[in-house]
Structure formats: C-alpha cells, structure tokens
Amino acid sequence: MTLPSLINGPVGLERPETPAPAGPATGGDPGADFSERVRQGFGRGAASYENQARLQQGVAWRLGRLCRDLPLPAGPIADLGAGSGLLSRALLAQRPALAESPPLQLDLCPELLARNPLAGPGLGPWNLNQGLPPGLKPAALLLSSFALQWLDDPAGQLAHWSRRLAPGGWLALALPVDGSFATWSAAATAAGVPCTALPLPRAPALIAAASGAGLELRHCQRLRFSRPAEDGLATLRLLRSLGATASHQTPLAAGQLRRLLAHWPAEPLGWEVLLLLGCRPGEAGPPC
C-alpha cells in the first residue's frame, strides 16, 4: 500500500497536508458524531472483518468457554456490539442448546449485521450509546466482545448493562484496555505527532463500575496478546481492514503521517484485553 492510499484510510490518519473540503473523501465526515464515524469505519471494513479478526475470534472462543456451563435464569440473551456474530457463534458452538433461543444481535453497523447469520430482520441497527433497548426484558446473559471501548461512556454503559441483568443473570465481557498499542504511542512520541489511536478505558475504572452496579465478579483476567513486529503501514492497514478507523483526534496531515511511520519501532503490536465474567445475585442472594 502506498502512502497516498493510506491517507484515505486508517485510524485518524486521513487529513491531507492542504485542508480538503469536509466530507467522506477524507475518510469519514468530520462533522458526524463519533458513533456515526464508528459506523462508517466498520461499514467500510465489513467485507474484510472476519478474515482479519483472528484475535477477536480467539477471545470470542474464550468467552464462549466461560459461558458454557453457567446456570442461566429465565430471560433473553443479547450480544452487545455483535458485529458479524463471532461471539454468539462461538457461544452456540460450545453450548448448542442455546440455539433454540439464540442471542439477540445488537449492533450499530448494518453492513456487519447483514453478514451476521444470527441477526434477524427484527430490531435493525441499534446504537448502544442509547443504552439497551427499553423493551429488552431483564437478561439471563449479556455478552460483549471488542465493542464497549467504542462507546462514548464505557464505564457508564457497563454499569447500565450490569443493572439490566435478571437476578442470577450473567455478564461476559472482553475489550482492549489502556496499555494496548504501546508501539503506536511510542512512534507518535518519537515523531512528535499526536497519537490518534482510540483512547481505551482503564481496567480498574471498568471493574469499579461493574461492581458498583451490583455485579459480583467471578472471573477477571487481563491478557496480553501481540502480533509479530510489523511496520507502521502494515499495522494501520490491519486496523483499516477490521474497520477500526474512527478516532476522536483530528487526522494527521500527510507529513505527520510520514514522520509517524518513519519512527514506528520494530516491536510487536500489543493488546491488553480485559476479560470479565460477573453475576447479578439472585433476589434471595446468591448463588448465581
């Protein structure tokens, strides 16, 4: 991939040296609110998402495994930020009895939902920044993988999810947290340019939000994953093919981007992933 083609693509790196008229030609409407830019990014990456999402697949399998034998109360199951359905499919493969009433697929991005075999025609795209759909009954199981970090208030939404569980219901969650993408941040510092990576929530703040909302944590693990060292261009290209392109920052100018890539360290790209499993105690107290 050449630098000019990169400039029309990845995470917050789309601003040409000379300011261009506002609009999608620079990789997303800068005037659109953040969730709209998130939606546009995942929409553009929808066709390549599953081919590239090896980490997400591995984490989905782990979450499915954690949920395999949970005692579930009555109530719906929902996959929050379900995308193409990797997590729900991993759960159903390990707990086939749930196929009778499969998880509801909630997601913002119609292009990913269109590729999701579990997404029915019912609800359509749903923006989780609005909370869970008001009609959703208290849930037996809420699942979410690699989605909460895209929301405007991850800790607040996590507390909300925890409160929407039925007594004895479970929440299973994975997301990348603060400490991920250290190579990107090191490159930005060395190049003297802003780091346009998505700021990720801090694990202790998320844990406190879930516990404060009454969730009893049964499993809490921080895992480190890395991909072999690649240059900056290959890394940013990967994020683009996953659709993970939205940034809160002003995109870098072409000169800044060149400097960033020139300073990219020859180190693996690392993800710090928080895995949480928690339960809302039953009305007469535990067990759940």
* Rounded CA separation 143/72 (Å): 13
Nearest to 75 by CA among 144, 156, 151, 171: 171
Cβ at position 257, least distance to ligand SAM in Å? 23
Residue closer to ligand SAM by CB (options 241, 256) is: 241
Cβ at position 110, least distance to ligand SAM in Å? 9
Residue from the set 104, 109, 207, 275 that interacts with ligand SAM by CB under 6 A: 109
Answer whether 105's CB lies under 8 Å from 116's CB.
yes
Q: Does 56 bind ligand SAM (CB under 6 A)?
A: yes
Report residue 272 as tokens: 């710090």
Select the residue whose beta carbon is closest to ligand SAM and give its number. Answer: 83
Residues 131 to 150 in contact with ligand SAM, rule: CB under 6 A: 145-147, 150
Report residue 64 as tokens: 């499915």
Nearest to 41 by CA among 15, 73, 9, 78: 9
Residue carrying structure tokens 């359509």: 124
Sole window of 5-13, 83-91, 159-167, 196-204 interacting with ligand SAM (rule: CB under 6 A): 83-91
Cβ at position 79, least distance to ligand SAM in Å? 7
What value, to the nearest 5°, has the Cα angle with vertex 47 and ends 136 and 31?
A: 70
Cβ at position 144, least distance to ligand SAM in Å? 7
Residues 195 to 234 in contact with ligand SAM, rule: CB under 6 A: none
